[in-house]
C-alpha cells in the first residue's frame, strides 16, 4: 500500500505519542521504589534525595525503543487510512497524562488529586488501545442517539446537576480533618468560627471582639449554622458548601439571561470553578482558605442582576434594589462592600454624564425620583443593617474607628509586593495577575469611549461595570499579592472573556451570513443578466 506523506507524518506522530504515554507509565512505576526505612529514619531529607534511584536514562531509552517498535508495528500492520479522531484522542490523552505528571512532580506537597487523575488516565489509555474496535462502535452508536435528542430543554437541569456534583462533598468530616492537617483550622476561625461564636454568645464584632471579615458574614453564617446543625466545624462546612453551590447556580442564571446562551453560561461556571476553587494557592482544598471562595462576596450576583435588569428594563425598582444591596454589601463585608458601592455610584454617574441616558431619565418624574432615592439608599441601607445589629453603638466614635482601622492596618501588617510570586517561581500566577487588571482597564476604556461616542449598544455598560467592580476588588491582591488571592476575584474577568467570545462568534456568523448573501446576489445578478 502506497502511503501519502500526510499519512506517514500522522503515523509517526501517533507512534511518538504512544512512546510518551509509555514513558509516563514507566515513570509512575519507577516511583514505587523507596529508600530503605533505615535511611529514612537516620539521614536528612537532602541525603535521601541523593540515595534515591536514578531512572532518567532508562526512561529515555525506553521512550526511544517504544517509539521505534511502535512505529514499526504501525507501518507494517496498519493499512487503513489514518483516522484523524484517533490521533486527536491520543494527543489529548498524552497531554493530560503529561500534565498530571507535571503537577505531581512540581506540587509534590499535595499531589493527591493529580495522582488519582493520572491513574484514571492510564487505565483509560490502556483500555482504549485494547478495545479500540468495540469502543469505536460504541461511540458511534452513542453519538447517533445523542443527535436524536433535543438538548435545549434539558440544558439548565443538566448544568445544575453538574454544579452540585462538582462542589458537593459527601464526607465533610474528612474534609475538615484535611483542613486541620493543613493549617489547624486557623482560616476557619479567622473568617467565621471565632467571631461567629462570640456573636451567638451576645458579643458584637468591632465592639467586644475583632473581626477580619466584616460584620454580616460571621453573624449571618453563625446563626444559619447554629439552626441547621449546631455551631461546629462540620455544620459550618456544610453551610459554606451549599452557599457556594447556590452562588454558582445564580451565576449560571445571570450569565444565561445576559448572554442568552446556556452553553456559554455553563462554560463560564466551569472556568470560574476551575480558576477560583482549584489552583495551587488553595491546595489541598479551597475550604482550608474559605476566604478565597465566593462566600466573601455575599449577594453580589443578585446585585449584578439588579443592575443588568435596570439596564434592560429601565425600571426604577431594579435601581432601588441594587442600591439596597450595595448598602447590604457594606454591612456584609466592609472591604468588598465598598467595591460594590463604588461601582454602583459609577453607574449612577454614567446615567447623568451620558446625554442619551440623562434626558429620558430626567424627563420622567417617576424615574427621576427613583434615581435621587437611589443616590441616598446605599448609605441608608447600610445604616439600617448596622443599626439592627448594633443599635446605640452606631452613634459611638469607637465603633466606626474599630470598623475602619483594620483596612488602614492591613496594607502595612499583611502586605506582600506584587512580585512575590516571582520569588517562588509562580510564573503563571504572576502572568495572570498582570493580565487581569490590563483586561479590565482596556475593556473599560474601549466601552467608555464607545458609549460616549454612541458607537456601541447601551447594554455594554454592564460589562464596563464588571470592569470597575473587578478593578476595585483587585486592590486586595495589590495589597497582599499572595498565591491564595490572585484568583479570588476571577468572576468579572471570566464574564468579560465570555462576552468577548460571544461577540466574536456572532461576528463570525454574521460574516459567513454576509458571504452567503453576497454569493446569492451574485448568482441572481448573473441569471438576470443572462436572461436579459
Determine the pLDDT at residue 2: 67
pLDDT at 411: 64
Closest CA to 403 of 464, 343, 470, 330: 330
**pLDDT over 90 (residue 234):** yes
Give residue 33's pLDDT: 64
CA 256 remoteness from chain centre: 16
Q: Which residues of 468-490 are buried (b: 16+ CB within 10 A; e: fewer)?
A: bbbbbbbebbbbbbbbbbbbbbb
Alpha helices (H) in 333-364, listed in sequence order: 334-353, 355-363
At residue 188, does pLDDT exceed 50? yes
- For residue 51, the model assigns a pLDDT of 60
Q: The C-alpha cell of 415 is what?
A: 502586605
- Model pLDDT, residue 525: 44
Residue 290 in contact with residue 337, Cβ under 8 Å?
no
**CA distance linking residue 158 with residue 269, whole number of Å:** 13
pLDDT at 14 over 60: yes
Residue 320 cell numbers, joined:
432601588
Closest CA to 471 of 437, 430, 500: 437
Dihedral sign for Cα atoms in the order 176, 180, 183, 189: positive
Distances (CA, A) of 508 to 414, 460, 495, 512: 47, 19, 20, 6
Percent of the chain with pLDDT over 90: 36
Which residues, in sequence order, are CB contacts of 426 under 8 Å at separation 6+?
A: 280, 483
The terminus-to-terminus CA distance of the chain in angstroms comes to 55
The answer to whether residue 512 scores a pLDDT higher than 50 is no
Q: What percent of the chain has pLDDT over 70?
A: 87
In 3-state terms, what secondary structure has residue 462? helix
Q: Which residues contact 45 (CB under 8 A, 6 or more apart)?
A: none
Higher confidence at residue 255 or residue 398? 255
How many CB atoms sit inside 10 A of residue 149's CB?
Answer: 9
pLDDT tops 50 at residue 211:
yes
Query: Given phi > 0 = left and psi -120 to 50 = alpha, else beta, which region is 285?
Result: beta
Asked if pLDDT for residue 393 goes beyond 90, the answer is: no
Of the spans 76-90, 436-450, 500-514, which averages the highest pLDDT?
436-450
How far is residue 418's CA from residue 412's CA, in Å, rounded to a whole number? Answer: 14
Q: Which comes out higher in pLDDT, residue 43 or 113? A: 113
pTM here?
A: 0.81
**Position with higher pLDDT, 148 vs 41:** 148
pLDDT at 19: 92
Q: Residues 330, 337: contact at Cβ < 8 Å?
A: yes
Pick the most confident of 4-8, 128-132, 478-482.
Answer: 128-132
Best mean pLDDT range from 159-163, 276-280, 432-436, 517-521: 159-163
d(CA 497, CA 165): 25
DSSP string, 135-153: HHHHHHHHHHHHHTS--GG
pLDDT on residue 130: 86
Q: How confident is the model at residue 210 (pLDDT cuts 50, 70, 90)?
A: confident
Report whether 231 contacts 196 (CB < 8 A): yes
pLDDT at 396: 84
In angstroms, rounded to a whole number, what is the distance separating the alpha carbons of residues 394 and 407?
18
Arithmetic mean of pLDDT, 226-251: 93
- Residue 480 bridge partners (DSSP): 416
As given in the structure block, the three cell numbers for residue 125 are 489509555
Q: What is the pLDDT of residue 530?
A: 42
Which of the listed ranges 343-347, 392-396, 495-499 does the model predict with the highest average pLDDT? Answer: 343-347
Contact (CB, 8 A) for 87 and 98: no
Report helix angle 334-353 to 300-313, nearest 10.
10
Q: How far apart (Å, rounded) are the C-alpha atoms in residues 73 and 68? A: 9
Mean pLDDT, rounded, for 514-524 = 41
Q: Coil, strand, or helix at residue 279? A: coil
Q: Which three cell numbers stand for residue 446?
A: 474601549
pLDDT digits (tens, 9 = 90+) for 413-468: 656 777 877 877 778 888 888 899 999 999 999 998 888 888 888 888 999 999 99
The pLDDT score that the predictor gives to residue 34 is: 58
The rounded Cα 118 to chain-centroid distance in angstroms is 23
Is residue 340 pLDDT above 70, yes or no? yes
Say what the pLDDT of residue 509 is: 53
pLDDT of 377 reads 93
Q: Residue 529: its pLDDT value, please?
A: 38
| Region 462-475 average pLDDT | 92
Average pLDDT over all residues of the chain: 83
pLDDT band for position 476 (cuts 50, 70, 90) = confident
For residues 318-342, give the mean pLDDT: 93
> Which of the residue ranges 133-137, 143-147, 161-165 has the most confident prediction, judged by mean pLDDT?
161-165
Amino acid at each position: 500500500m502506497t502511503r501519502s506523506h500526510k499519512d506517514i507524518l500522522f503515523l509517526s506522530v501517533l507512534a511518538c505519542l504512544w512512546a510518551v504515554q509509555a514513558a509516563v507509565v514507566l515513570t509512575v512505576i519507577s516511583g514505587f521504589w523507596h529508600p530503605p526505612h533505615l535511611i529514612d529514619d537516620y539521614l536528612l531529607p537532602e541525603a535521601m534525595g541523593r540515595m534515591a534511584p536514578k531512572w532518567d536514562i532508562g526512561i529515555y531509552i525506553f521512550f526511544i525503543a517504544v517509539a521505534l517498535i511502535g512505529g514499526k508495528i504501525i507501518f507494517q500492520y496498519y493499512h487503513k487510512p489514518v483516522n484523524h479522531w484517533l490521533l486527536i484522542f491520543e494527543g489529548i490523552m498524552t497531554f493530560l497524562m503529561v500534565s498530571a505528571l507535571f503537577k505531581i512532580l512540581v506540587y509534590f506537597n499535595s499531589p493527591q488529586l493529580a495522582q488519582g487523575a493520572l491513574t484514571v488516565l492510564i487505565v483509560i489509555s490502556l483500555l482504549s488501545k485494547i478495545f479500540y474496535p468495540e469502543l469505536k462502535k460504541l461511540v458511534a452508536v452513542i453519538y447517533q442517539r445523542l443527535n436524536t435528542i433535543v438538548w435545549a430543554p434539558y440544558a439548565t437541569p443538566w448544568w445544575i446537576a453538574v454544579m452540585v456534583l462538582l462542589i458537593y462533598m459527601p464526607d465533610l468530616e474528612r474534609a475538615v480533618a484535611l483542613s486541620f492537617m493543613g493549617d489547624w483550622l486557623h482560616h476557619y476561625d479567622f473568617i467565621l468560627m471565632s467571631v461567629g461564636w462570640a456573636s451567638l454568645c451576645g458579643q458584637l464584632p468591632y465592639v467586644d471582639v475583632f473581626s477580619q471579615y466584616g460584620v454580616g458574614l460571621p453573624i449571618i453564617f453563625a446563626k444559619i449554622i447554629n439552626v441547621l446543625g449546631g455551631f461546629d466545624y462540620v455544620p459550618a462546612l456544610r453551610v459554606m458548601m451549599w452557599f457556594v453551590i447556590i452562588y454558582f447556580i445564580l451565576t449560571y442564571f445571570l450569565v444565561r439571561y445576559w448572554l442568552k446562551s446556556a452553553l456559554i453560561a455553563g462554560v463560564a461556571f466551569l472556568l470560574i470553578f476551575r480558576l477560583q476553587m482549584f489552583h495551587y494557592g488553595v491546595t489541598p482544598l479551597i475550604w482550608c482558605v474559605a476566604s478565597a471562595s465566593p462566600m466573601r462576596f455575599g449577594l453580589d450576583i443578585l446585585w449584578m442582576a439588579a443592575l443588568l435588569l435596570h439596564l434592560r428594563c429601565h425600571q426604577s425598582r431594579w435601581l432601588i434594589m441594587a442600591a439596597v444591596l450595595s448598602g447590604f454589601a457594606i454591612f456584609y463585608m466592609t472591604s468588598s462592600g465598598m467595591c460594590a458601592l463604588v461601582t454602583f455610584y459609577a453607574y449612577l454617574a454614567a446615567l447623568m454624564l451620558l446625554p442619551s441616558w440623562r434626558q429620558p431619565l430626567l424627563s420622567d418624574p417617576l424615574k427621576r425620583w427613583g434615581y435621587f432615592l437611589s443616590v441616598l439608599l446605599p448609605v441608608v441601607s447600610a445604616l439600617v443593617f448596622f443599626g439592627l445589629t448594633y443599635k446605640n453603638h452606631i452613634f459611638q466614635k469607637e465603633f466606626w474607628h474599630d470598623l475602619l482601622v483594620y483596612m488602614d492596618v492591613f496594607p502595612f501588617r499583611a502586605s506582600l509586593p506584587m512580585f512575590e510570586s516571582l520569588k517562588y517561581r509562580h510564573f503563571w500566577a504572576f502572568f495572570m495577575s498582570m493580565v487581569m487588571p490590563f483586561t479590565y482597564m482596556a475593556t473599560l476604556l474601549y466601552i467608555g469611549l464607545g458609549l460616549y461616542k454612541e458607537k456601541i449598544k447601551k447594554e455594554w455598560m454592564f460589562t464596563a461595570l464588571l470592569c470597575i467592580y473587578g478593578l476595585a476588588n483587585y486592590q486586595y491582591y495589590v495589597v497582599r499579592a499572595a498565591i491564595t488571592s490572585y484568583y479570588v476575584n476571577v468572576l468579572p474577568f471570566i464574564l468579560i472573556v465570555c462576552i468577548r467570545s460571544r461577540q466574536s462568534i456572532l461576528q463570525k456568523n454574521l460574516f459567513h451570513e454576509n458571504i452567503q448573501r453576497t454569493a446569492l446576489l451574485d448568482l441572481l445578478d448573473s441569471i438576470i443578466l443572462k436572461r436579459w
